[in-house]
């Protein structure tokens, strides 16, 4: 259960992940980060907490046309991402693409001025334990019939708590693409003028509380 600091111990986030062990915490210092070694992050099937040193106002990760975190199908351990601002133009999840059956918890993060013609902050193809807490998406746009908060495919599940989704152009709130998709929201604000807060496919499940 070690604490690893970026860039003091390792020059970038992926190198820190590559040198981490189960239950380690990686703390990323204030500043701006970009490039392949700070985006499309692979947690190497480890239980890791990745957090910023002083919250999302002090850090920006510019992933250009990539996702910040990638949970591949081989990821069998749950992880936490806490306190980052992300800018991206990636079409399948600005903050995270989840193809694993285990869960990713993203909290206290901010998707800023992200644009794409496809999915929004999260693209979930499977997995039953994906949770976001205190996420803000603001000034972001996606294509018509796509969700700013993201898209849930297959039997994927997304739980949203205390999140704020603000649209400034084309884009709905959340898209439940397939019959097995599940979206659970509590105390979540989805404000998308002229568009739908939720696009729900036949057979998909949505549970909304105090939104």
Contact 68, 35 (CB under 8 A): no
Backbone angles phi, psi at 57, to 5 degrees: -75, -15
Residue 69 has pLDDT above 70, yes or no: yes
Confidence class of residue 67 from pLDDT cuts 50, 70 and 90?
confident
Residue 97 C-beta-side C-alpha neighbours within 13 Å: 19
* Element of type H or E holding 88: strand 85-88
Confidence class of residue 187 from pLDDT cuts 50, 70 and 90?
confident
- 124-140: average pLDDT: 71
- Rounded to two decimals, what is the model's pTM? 0.85
What pLDDT sits at residue 11? 97
Residue 105 has pLDDT above 70, yes or no: yes
Q: What is the CA radius of gyration of the chain?
A: 16
What pLDDT sits at residue 48? 94
What pLDDT sits at residue 196? 75
d(CA 197, CA 192): 6
What pLDDT sits at residue 91? 64
What pLDDT sits at residue 129? 57
């Amino acid at each position: 259960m070690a604490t690893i600091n970026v860039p003091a111990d390792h020059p970038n986030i992926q190198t820190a992940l590559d040198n981490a062990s189960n239950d380690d915490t990686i703390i990323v210092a204030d500043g701006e980060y970009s490039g392949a070694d700070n985006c499309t992050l692979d947690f190497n099937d480890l239980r890791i907490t990745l957090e910023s040193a002083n919250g999302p106002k002090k850090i920006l990760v510019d992933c250009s046309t990539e996702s910040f975190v990638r949970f591949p199908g081989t990821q069998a351990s749950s992880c936490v991402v806490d306190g980052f601002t992300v800018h991206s133009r990636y079409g399948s999840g600005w903050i995270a693409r989840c193809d694993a059956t285990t869960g990713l918890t993203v909290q206290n993060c901010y998707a800023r001025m992200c644009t794409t013609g496809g999915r929004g902050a999260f693209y979930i193809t499977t997995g039953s334990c994906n949770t976001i807490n205190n996420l803000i998406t603001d000034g972001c746009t996606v294509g018509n019939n796509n969700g700013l908060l993201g898209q849930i495919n297959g039997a994927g599940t997304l739980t949203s708590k205390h999140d704020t989704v603000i649209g400034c152009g084309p884009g709905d709130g959340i898209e439940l693409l397939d019959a097995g998709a599940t979206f659970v929201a509590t105390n979540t604000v989805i404000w998308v003028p002229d568009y739908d807060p939720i696009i729900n496919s036949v057979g998909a499940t949505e549970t909304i509380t105090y939104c």
